[in-house]
Amino acid sequence: MPGRRGPIRYAVVGLGHIAQAAVLPAFAHARRNSRLVALVSDDERKRRIVGRKYRVEDTYSYDEYDACLEKVDAVYIALPNSMHAEYTIRAAQAGVHVLCEKPMAVTVEECEAMIDACRGHRVKLMIAYRLHFEEINLGAIEIVRKGRIGEPKFFNSSFSMTVREQNIRTDRELGGGTLYDIGVYCINAARHLFRSEPTEVMALSVNAGAAKLAEIDESTGAVMRFEGERLASFVTSFNAGDVASYRIVGTKGHLRVDPAYEYAKGLAYELTIDGKTIRKRIGKRDQFAPELLYFSDCIRRNRDPEPSGAEGLQDVRIVRALYESAEMGQIVQISPFRRMRHPTARQRIRRPGIQKPVLVHARSASK
């Protein structure tokens, strides 16, 4: 694969909301090195209509996944969380590179099996943390790294939405839960802003009895102690108004990013030092084409991607520890983990925003 002259040929596996609203349109902004050549879904009508729209002739059911893997160089896995491990491992065994949506998987063991399979078959594995290529969040990391707010001391975040009934995020067997879906953003942001790893965590999950959330946590509040005696706290909820922001406070000032985690709108931050505030806002950008461009370059140049499988594994380790804490009612220690590469400004890739396409048998998670 290294040295391949043509674009990397992708199959998008799963044609739910995120695939149709964001991933498929992103290929128009990633033509330099990425090409959409196949679709995988068990919905025949969806395959036919979406395939026609994007001029993709090769479409497959899940039962035909192995045949699909013979025609592509890489897959973008946009399946329910519980299916990530199986479809990643099968791709790796076929010698196909994997760009997998977050969270990486449901359990630590699944994450480790994904990493082992990709390493053993010498294929690249990247987890789709789109904010690792996004201007506002990379700017926030640089501000903290350069010491502009002094020594960072604490982080807090709120991420919530009102999830629709019968959405896969509310199904325990499919890997549903607020921490898996949106909590990973808060965890990932804190880790890279502090440039360190948590040593212990505690959490409290609540459920007010909404029938649609009976199998999962409605809301979870979490606190994480980081190396250097720093604290990060956040609350996630599937039954509250739309909020997606964070603030990090240091000895000289503070930085607030709001909105912080969205992909359907522009993002912004406010940096306050000595009572003076600097604001930066950008309009809506395509956050998915940068992932494709970056990952395809990693494949073609034989470079290890950041965010890697190890990055996804660490966040799942923390999610599992937080749910354990909520269940047991006690602090859970986090065993040491090899320090990862951090996203840098060099990873920033700008592409213009896209208009939301007409969706086929798919709708957003929130009302």
Q: What is the pLDDT of residue 4?
A: 56
Identify the burial level of 307 via C-beta atoms within 10 angstroms of its C-beta, where 0-12 means exposed, 13-18 middle and 19 or more buried: buried
Identify the burial level of 212 via C-beta atoms within 10 angstroms of its C-beta, where 0-12 means exposed, 13-18 middle and 19 or more buried: middle
Q: What is the pLDDT of residue 2?
A: 46
Mean pLDDT by 10 residues, the chain (367 residues): 74 98 98 98 97 98 98 98 98 98 98 98 98 98 98 98 95 97 98 97 96 97 96 98 98 98 96 96 97 98 97 98 98 88 95 94 90
Question: For residue 289, what are its two tokens?
Answer: 């084409």
Q: What is the pLDDT of residue 6?
A: 87
Q: Give the three-state DSSP class for 64.
A: helix
Give yes or no: 102 in active site. yes
Q: What is the pLDDT of residue 367?
A: 79
Catalytic residue among 60, 129, 185, 294: 185
Give yes or no: 185 in active site. yes
Catalytic residue among 102, 124, 263, 269: 102
Query: pTM of this prediction?
Result: 0.96
Question: Residue length, the chain?
Answer: 367
Q: What is the four-CA torsion angle of 313, 77, 188, 111, rounded to 10 degrees?
A: -10
Q: Tell the residue number behind the tokens 């859970």, with chain if given.
A: 332
